[in-house]
Amino acid sequence: MRNQLPSRTFRLAGVELDLRATVALAATTLLVTIDRYHDLVPMRDSLEVARGMALEGALFYLLIPLLIILVVFRESPRDYGMTFGDWRLGAKLTLVIVAVLVPLVALAARTPAMRAYYAGDDGAWQGILPPMALALFGWEFLFRGFLLFSLAALMGPTAIIVQAVPFALAHLGKPEIETITTILGGSLFGWVAWRTRSFFYPFLIHLAIYSLTVVLATTFSG
């Protein structure tokens, strides 16, 4: 299956711009910014934070990008990673990458900053993970689906690195060790999406890493 969509351009103020890359970059920046400054629901404890992030992830990072693909681009979400793609390769990459990252995540989860940020209130992490799975599904579609494949038509595989930049910036305010590693992690997730033609496998990897971080941070803080 091809990784690049045919180029589409439009003219603005005498300048020819790539349609998908321009719209996707502008929309991604706007959505992440709105999400940072506005909470759709009150967030007083870790469970309410998770539920709020699930709602925002579903609206800002999943539904709105899907509407842009369908209404503005008039294309299929399948061309933006909304498919299982090469599931054999995806399953292999998911298992291998998670196995390699487990000890690194375990070390990071021991740090005071990660424990303070990710430990569930009163040790209750079970209620956090289901809504966060929806939030991460939206995050992965935005960056490893909508943005990655929109940029790919213009810049080819370089889009793997470019999509990781706003992803890293969206982590500002989280523990420093996590934010610093997101440019590498976001590029790795983008590479997996590029190879499999699907954002589903980066989502599984991201969910596994997040879940392990929350469980370990809560355990180490107990």
Number of folded domains in the chain? 1
Buried b (16+ CB within 10 A) or exposed e, 110-126: ebeebbebbbbeeeebe
Summarised one tens digit per residue, pLDDT across range 169-209 is: 999 999 999 999 999 999 999 999 999 999 999 999 999 99
User: Closest Cα partner for 213 from 96, 118, 88?
Assistant: 118
Range of the domain at 67: 9-221
Higher pLDDT, 153 or 207: 207
Q: Is residue 188 part of a domain?
A: yes
Provide the H-helix boundaries in the chain: 19-37, 46-56, 64-67, 87-109, 112-118, 129-141, 148-155, 159-162, 164-169, 176-196, 200-221
- Over residues 89-104, the pLDDT tens digits come to 999 999 999 999 999 9
In a domain, 141, yes or no: yes
45 CB-near residues (< 8 Å, 6+ apart): 121
- Find where tokens 């209750």 sit: 124
Query: In whole numbers, what is the pLDDT of the chain averaged over residues?
Result: 91
Contacts of 15 (CB under 8 A, 6+ apart): none
Which segment, 38-52, 108-122, 156-170, is predicted with the most confidence on average? 156-170
The long-range contacts involving 54-60, CB below 8 angstroms and separated by at least 24 positions, are: 54/131, 54/132, 54/134, 54/135, 56/135, 56/138, 57/134, 57/135, 57/136, 57/137, 57/138, 57/139, 58/134, 58/135, 58/138, 59/138, 60/31, 60/32, 60/34, 60/35, 60/138, 60/142
Burial class (CB in 10 A: 0-12, 13-18, 19+), 205: buried
Nearest alpha-carbon partner for 210 in 161, 171, 159: 171
Report, as an integer, the average pLDDT of 143-157: 95
Share of the chain above pLDDT 70, in %: 93
In a domain, residue 178? The reply is yes
Tell me the whole-structure pTM to 2 decimals. 0.92
Which of 44-53, 64-73, 154-163, 184-193 bottoms out in mean pLDDT, i.e. has the lowest? Answer: 44-53
Predicted local confidence at residue 123, as pLDDT:
52
pLDDT greater at residue 143 or residue 123: 143
**pLDDT over 80 at 4, yes or no:** no
Using 50, 70 and 90 to split pLDDT, how confident is the model at 155? Answer: very high
Would you say residue 4 lies in a domain? Answer: no
In a domain, residue 214? The reply is yes
Q: How far apart (Å, rounded) are the C-alpha atoms in residues 166 and 174?
A: 14
Other C-beta atoms within 10 Å of 152: how many? 26
Please check the confidence at residue 121 and state whether its pLDDT lies above 70.
no
Is 169 inside any structural domain? yes
How confident is the model at residue 7, as a pLDDT? 80
Give pLDDT, residue 1. Answer: 41
Average the pLDDT over each of 45-54, 57-66, 171-180, 204-213 and give the range with the smallest value.
45-54
Does residue 18 sit in helix, strand or coil?
strand
Domain-located, residue 2:
no
Mean pLDDT to the nearest integer, 98-112:
94
In a domain, 77, yes or no: yes
What pLDDT, on the 0 to 100 scale, is given for residue 149? 97
Q: Residue 63: pLDDT above 80?
A: yes
